[in-house]
A and B are shown apart, each in its own frame.
Chain A
Amino acid sequence: MADIPANQATLTTADGVPLKTKLRQTQRRMKMRALGLVLPLLAFIAVTFIWPIGLMVYRGVDNPVFSEVMPNTNAALARWDTQADEIPPEDIVAIVARDLAQARRDKTMGRVATRMNYDLPGSRSLITSSARKLAKIEGDVVWTEEMVKIDKRWGERKTWMAMRLASERYTMAFYMAALDRTFDEDGNITMQPEERQIYVTLFLRTVWVSLLITVLCILLAYPISYLMATLPLRTSNLLMVMVLLPFWTSLLVRTTSWIVLLQKQGVLNDILVFIGVFSDEGRIRMIYNMTGTVIAMTHILLPFMVLPLYSVMKTISPSYVRAARSLGATPARAFWKIYFPQSVPGIGAGSILVFILAVGYYITPALVGGESGQLISNFIAFHMQKSLNWSLAAALGGILLGGVLALYWIYNKLVGIDNMKMG
């Protein structure tokens, strides 16, 4: 179309506005309207979802205690040349000592002590007793000497390094701790001592258990969904009710019924003993361990696999398999080459749902997991409710969130998220 006259090169509407501008205007109007429609939901999600999650991630790095209670300490310790001096010089120590004394007088000492205790186990009493004694000292003294006199740990580099880290306004310490890492005396990242390394194993265990549950769900849900999608409506409705029935039952009831079934004196063991699979002494433990967690969670998450699978299979017309058969494919081949590939989007959708739910599951492992069946969320809950180390809980949660997002990203790269169908 090289020979269009110049005046026709740009199309215009009847009132002389170039067509492209006009189109852009209409599109912008449409976008504004669409935005208006989603705005309420967007606001709701922002308030109830994005804001709390943002807050949680932030809490994992937030470290306000020192800046509120001992406002001069952080700046002072930052001036400490850790390469040159073993412990901070006298002028810095003086500032810290006065801050400690002041905190004692303000009765806010406890927060500092707790905070220090996270980084340097056993330092709670050091802080509280030192602060009490420092508060009594009046006049000019050599603070370094006085403090070492109160407790000789003030002469150690370790104590001061810990305080320097703990006093920073923002800290990576909680995220490091969530990955079993810590800072050593020289401020380098090192592994926690062996007996305190739990979280990495726990993360890996959580991912592995979730994968196992996802695979079990696929294996169990696929045949049932297939039946539901192919059987006559009345039978398939019955199956659907059977799948949904657990859904309508309280989670606690379902979990506790598993306890009844699986415990050592429970129904399943009784039956196995009765039919002679093993003797009465040989009863196996199927609950309060990883087995219990896996069985109960697979059961609870199964509907989340069945429903997307079913809705995808429902749309696969039986004429595809018939066509394949008429073209000469055996039933197995027709299934594998024609039916299965078309059901993959359902597997994808179900797997993502089940996996993400499993990774964050809390109640079931707490009830039936015993000691070995605990997952990462149980520890997050522990730090939220028992140890009250919310920052560490936030860091663990933040890492979990990041991990899930990363897996989602990998899934998108490998399978393509557009390939996923919820129905």
Chain B
Amino acid sequence: MADSNEPIVRFINVQKSYDGEILVVKNLNLDIARGEFLTMLGPSGSGKTTCLMMLAGFEPATNGDITLNGKPINNVPPHKRGIGMVFQNYALFPHMTVAENLSFPLEVRRMGKDEIESRVTRALEMVRLPEMAGRRPGQLSGGQQQRVAVARALVFDPDLVLMDEPLGALDKNPREEMQYEIKHIHESLGVSVVYVTHDQSEALTMSNRIAVFNDGIVQQLSTPDALYERPENAFVAQFIGENNRLMGTVKEVNGESCTIEVDGGGAVIALAVNIAGKGERTTLSLRPERVTINPPEGSVPNVFEGTVEELIYLGDHIRARVNVCGHDDFIVKVPNASGHAALKEKTKVKVGWEFEDCRALDA
């Protein structure tokens, strides 16, 4: 087997166009480590499925190379790639029983009868459906079909499994249960998983690393916490979690901090992450939970006066919509801790934040 430090999959300058005019995948460079759970996250139409299809062999890459275990696979047909795949609509063969579905990849590989039987049994036990072997897919619930699909993708021991929005058709509860199960299976088997979703909480809970796609480009590839806490551009900041955006112009740059003249009035000191330079436009990104109401005098560099527009009581915290610096959609999450600030709508408050929590990103 290949060296375990080597990535199992590499996308090298991969481009893809369906019609010869628009590049759906613009320039993809992505290494997937062995045993990793990597999620492709992004809005609809951003090219996630296309990447998966190129990896599985159902769509040719227009340009660039894809390697699997160090070997280029551009000319390897899908059935010789040995990649397991779970489809969004499960794609369980409707005319076969669950057991027949599971034995299909094994029969194709000409395994012996006993071997097939024991593997099918083991796979069904893994997804906790041992008594369903004789049923047809049509007689199973959505969650059960999903489990069978996962078992089928794993039964022939591939090193790599692709899952394209496998939980998209499930309701909240079975969905969360399946997230946990897939994660658990990944950990116990040690396979590499490439997972596609456009549900960010699913991506954050399941993945080792997340590749955020937009417009055919990987916007950021990081671990879940880094993605949330240190977004590198305005798209990622906006896409992952809740986010306050303040537009403005760079007035001054001081090493890692900078001063921004916000459009609605007021100068904000922020962390210079991704700015073009003095005088250029920028977007400030600030998480609502990092804003304090009425901060003690001199404790934070940024303090502004605003008006409370709206209050929503959410139990563990209160969401306040505040008009600050000419932006009336500025959200503050006030924790419902003892002695928290008592707010009233249409009253004036002071809001403040640390400079590292406010990231100056591309415009």
A320 x B91 contact (CB < 8 A): yes
CB within 8 Å for A329 and B89 given contacts A337-B104, A342-B94: no
- Of B57, B91, B95, B109, the residue contacting A323 (CB under 8 A) is B91
A326 x B89 contact (CB < 8 A): no
Q: How far is B87's CA from A293's CA once the two chains are assembled, in angstroms?
A: 49
The answer, yes or no, to whether B142 is at the interface (CB within 8 Å) is no
Residues of A within 8 A of B95 (CB): 341-342
The answer, yes or no, to whether B235 is at the interface (CB within 8 Å) is no
Name which of B77-85, B203-211, B293-301 contacts chain A: B77-85
The answer, yes or no, to whether B22 is at the interface (CB within 8 Å) is no
* Closest chain B residue to A344, Cβ basis: B95
Interface extent on A, as a size class?
Answer: 10 to 19
* Closest chain A residue to B92, Cβ basis: A323
The answer, yes or no, to whether A317 is at the interface (CB within 8 Å) is yes
Residues of B within 8 A of A326 (CB): 56-57, 78-79, 81, 83-85, 153, 162
A324 x B87 contact (CB < 8 A): no
CB within 8 Å for A327 and B58 given contacts A319-B87, A320-B91: no
- Of A317, A324, A341, A342, the residue contacting B89 (CB under 8 A) is A317
Residues of A within 8 A of B78 (CB): 322, 325-326
B156 to chain A, nearest CB (A): 7
Residues of A within 8 A of B152 (CB): 327
CB within 8 Å for A328 and B87 given contacts A338-B93, A342-B94: no
Residues of A within 8 A of B91 (CB): 317, 319-320, 322-323
Q: Map CB proximity to B onto A315-348 as digits: 1 under 8 Å, 0 otherwise.
A: 0010110111111111101100110011000000
* Closest chain A residue to B109, Cβ basis: A328
Residues of A within 8 A of B162 (CB): 326
B79 x A328 contact (CB < 8 A): yes
B166 to chain A, nearest CB (A): 12
Residues of B within 8 A of A331 (CB): 77, 79
CB within 8 Å for A323 and B79 given contacts A337-B104, A338-B93: no
B94 x A328 contact (CB < 8 A): no
Q: Map CB proximity to A onto B64-87 as digits: 1 under 8 Å, 0 otherwise.
A: 000000000000011111111101
A322 x B58 contact (CB < 8 A): yes
Q: How far is B58's CA from A334's CA once the two chains are assembled, in angstroms?
A: 14
For B, the interface residue count at a CB cutoff of 8 angstroms equals 27
Residues of A within 8 A of B108 (CB): 327-329, 333
A327 x B105 contact (CB < 8 A): yes
A330 x B89 contact (CB < 8 A): no
Q: How far is B78's CA from A331's CA once the two chains are assembled, in angstroms?
A: 9
Residues of B within 8 A of A325 (CB): 57-58, 77-79
CB within 8 Å for A320 and B93 given contacts A327-B104, A327-B108, A329-B104: yes
Q: How far is B94's CA from A337's CA once the two chains are assembled, in angstroms?
A: 12
* Closest chain B residue to A345, Cβ basis: B95
* Closest chain A residue to B105, Cβ basis: A327
Residues of A within 8 A of B58 (CB): 322, 325
B21 to chain A, nearest CB (A): 16
Q: How far is B56's CA from A79's CA once the two chains are assembled, in angstroms?
A: 88
A323 x B156 contact (CB < 8 A): no
A324 x B104 contact (CB < 8 A): yes
Q: How far is B91's CA from A325's CA once the two chains are assembled, in angstroms?
A: 12
CB within 8 Å for A328 and B156 given contacts A323-B85, A333-B108, A337-B104: yes
* Closest chain B residue to A330, Cβ basis: B79
A326 to chain B, nearest CB (A): 4
A327 x B156 contact (CB < 8 A): yes
* List of 4 A-B pairs having minimum Cβ-Cβ separation, nearest first: A327-B105, A323-B91, A326-B85, A319-B91
Interface residues of chain A, those whose CB is within 8 Å of chain B, are: 317, 319-320, 322-331, 333-334, 337-338, 341-342
29 sampled A-B residue pairs with Cβ under 8 A: A317-B89, A319-B89, A320-B91, A322-B56, A322-B85, A322-B87, A323-B85, A323-B87, A323-B92, A324-B93, A325-B57, A326-B56, A326-B57, A326-B83, A326-B162, A327-B84, A327-B104, A327-B108, A327-B152, A328-B80, A328-B82, A328-B105, A328-B109, A329-B105, A329-B108, A330-B79, A334-B79, A337-B104, A342-B94
5 more A-B contacts (CB under 8 A) besides A319-B89, A328-B79, A328-B82? Answer: A317-B89, A322-B56, A323-B87, A325-B77, A327-B79
